[in-house]
Structure 1
């Protein structure tokens, strides 16, 4: 059974430093948000939704997120082969923690942007949730 931690407990972030380094990168949390909204996306679909990202940073970020267990990659047996990315259970859990942070920012003057890729609810088939908008 996991012990609940309190604000008075001491924390060691050393084991998490690699994970924190990856999710703190420019595109990582946006990718998590998009995959959380949609369930799964192909490489080019992600590239289109992110807009100004180049293929190499997208590929590198997806590989990093896959390596730490937040994103899974499925190769479809089509001709030509296609790839779909989706969140793992850990990735979906991380996404759930993003929403309160975004609400906190919004309450302090953060602005909604047109086409924002993060929604409080999602259309992901894994969770059965439906979108309610930003």
Structure 2
């Protein structure tokens, strides 16, 4: 899932990163790259806590949904990809039937795009995107 993040930097500090759709999730880093890398760990820890507490997982919204929020004024926006599938519960095997050409295209995409560890990961990510559209 792609989460918008906003970076801030004061003169005498590291880059701070906020994840507007994940309340209370913050990170920092000495450089922009380091700050964006560190937000992955912050998201993982935050999601682990949400799962442990039985709380719902936050859905990512577009950057545009946050632009009028004064808390983020003057920040630099970025988008980070975060795999939420490990936090959705135990994996369950099921049978699915797809057209051969579609399955081949999915497999080719998985080979090219390292965001997806497997065909199942691709399908889970596509399903989450589709489910978020209706919310």
TM-score by length of 1: 0.27
Flag the structure with larger Rg.
2
TM-score by length of 2: 0.26
